[in-house]
Amino acid sequence: MKKYIPAAMLFVVFEAVAVSLAVFKDNAFYLFNFSYIGCSISLGVVLYIRSYKNARRVVQLLVGLYMLVYLGIICNENMQIEGFWYYLFTGVFEAATIHYLVAKIAGPLVFGRGWCGYACWTAMALDFLPYKTPQSHERRGSGWLRYLAFAASILFVAALFLTHAADMERIMFRAFIFGNLIYYALGIGLAVWLRDNRAFCKYICPVTVFLKPASYFSLFRVTCDKGKCVNCGQCVRVCPMDVDMTDNSRARKNGTECILCMECVKKCPTGALK
Ligand code: SF4
Ligand code: SF4
Ligand code: SF4
């Protein structure tokens, strides 16, 4: 039973967040929301421990569809980056602001880019494409596009406030729908063009501007036991994010891009990675 302790710990952490927010905000929704996400993630960890090869995909679908369809489309909560700016500028600590704080700003100090590996609804769709291992591990010099997209998201919401746009809730809902359609179109187009499912994550996604700094200090990270490593290179070849996980330093190549997918750990023939 000891091997299931990480799953139990994750469940307890999410329950603590669920109960704290439900009490602090006097809103039972948070109890449901974070309990559901905690259960989904813990289930994924249990499936991974039991060597179920699609464990990560199960979590992606459970959490990604919940956030996209239930929270986004049914409940009209814009959980995209412009939704975060909107709630932040309104001074409301709800929905997207809580989501960003937990999953994308503070959370990465503990679980790095786990959001990207297990919960993002954009990557949930992109990971169905056939280019799971990038054709090339060399990055093109287009990472600055992320910062452009980040700035555009702030400017878009700032313009709505400055022009006193009418019915902003409706605009934000439409922005959520069209924003997602654009993300999917760009994501699929880039993946096919560059033969890389995660090209959108590497070159366009504005959320990485939040995710990367805290991920540098992530508590959970893949490490390499140099005594067991035979330098076969299989781990680096299979990595969807071009990380050099055989280097244990924080400054390793593309270290802040690791999505904790564990493909390298599964591939290592000597068990050097954990
Ligand atoms: S980089 Fe962006 S699109 Fe890719 S998984 Fe992370 S949040 Fe989603
Ligand atoms: S293959 Fe390993 S290093 Fe690469 S993203 Fe997945 S867990 Fe991180
Ligand atoms: S797959 Fe394992 S043995 Fe091969 S280079 Fe990577 S860590 Fe070393």
pLDDT category at 115 given cuts 50, 70, 90 is very high
pTM above 0.85, yes or no: yes
Average pLDDT over residues 47-74: 94
Question: Which ligand 3 atom sits nearest the alpha carbon of residue 234?
Answer: 1
Q: What is the pLDDT of residue 1?
A: 79
Q: Output the CA 222–ligand 3 centroid distance in Å.
A: 12
The domains of the chain, with CATH numbers, are: 77-219 (no CATH), 221-274 (3.30.70.20)
- Residue among 59, 84, 122 to mutate when testing ligand 1 (max atoms within 8 A of CB): 122
> pLDDT at residue 94 above 90?
no
> pLDDT at residue 3 above 90?
no
Q: Which residue has the tokens 């069209």?
A: 178
Q: Which of 239, 256, 237, 255 is nearest to 247 (CA)?
A: 255
Q: What is the pLDDT of residue 10?
A: 87
Q: What is the pLDDT of residue 251?
A: 96
123 lines ligand 1 (CB under 6 A): yes
DSSP state of 140: P
Instruction: Quick: pLDDT tens for 256-268.
Output: 999 999 999 999 9
Instruction: Quick: pLDDT tens for 6-33.
Output: 899 889 989 999 999 999 989 999 999 9
Rounded CA gap, 12 and 5, in Å?
Answer: 10
Question: Which ligand 1 atom sits nearest the alpha carbon of residue 117?
Answer: 5
Q: What is the pLDDT of residue 142?
A: 81
The residues, ordered by sequence, that sit 6+ positions from 249 with a Cβ below 8 Å of its Cβ are 255
What are φ and ψ of residue 224, in 5° steps? -115, 130
273 lines ligand 2 (CB under 6 A): no
Q: Output the CA 272–ligand 3 centroid distance in Å.
A: 6
> pLDDT at residue 88 above 90?
yes
Helix, strand or coil, per DSSP, at residue 172: helix
116 lines ligand 2 (CB under 6 A): no
pLDDT category at 63 given cuts 50, 70, 90 is very high
Q: What is the pLDDT of residue 126?
A: 97
Q: What is the pLDDT of residue 148?
A: 96
State which amino acid sits at residue 121.
Answer: W
Instruction: Quick: pLDDT tens for 164-215.
Output: 999 999 999 999 999 999 999 999 999 999 999 999 999 999 999 999 999 9
Q: What is the pLDDT of residue 179?
A: 95
Q: What average pLDDT does the structure give for the chain? A: 94
Rounded CA gap, 183 and 178, in Å?
Answer: 9
